Amino acid sequence: MKPDTCTAMRRLIAQIRAAIPFEDPRSRACTGACDGCSRKLLDFLEGELDDWERRLAAGESPNLGEVSRLARTSRKVYGVLERNGLV
Each domain of the chain, given as residue ranges in start order, spans 37-87
pLDDT digits (tens, 9 = 90+) for 4-17: 999 999 999 999 99
pLDDT (0 to 100) of residue 10: 97
* pLDDT for 33: 64
Report the pLDDT value the prediction gives residue 35, as an integer from 0 to 100.
66
pLDDT score of 31 = 65
- Contact (CB, 8 A) for 30 and 87: no
Q: Could you report the per-residue pLDDT of 17-70, keeping only the tens digit for each? A: 999 988 877 766 676 666 678 888 999 999 999 999 999 999 999 999 999 999
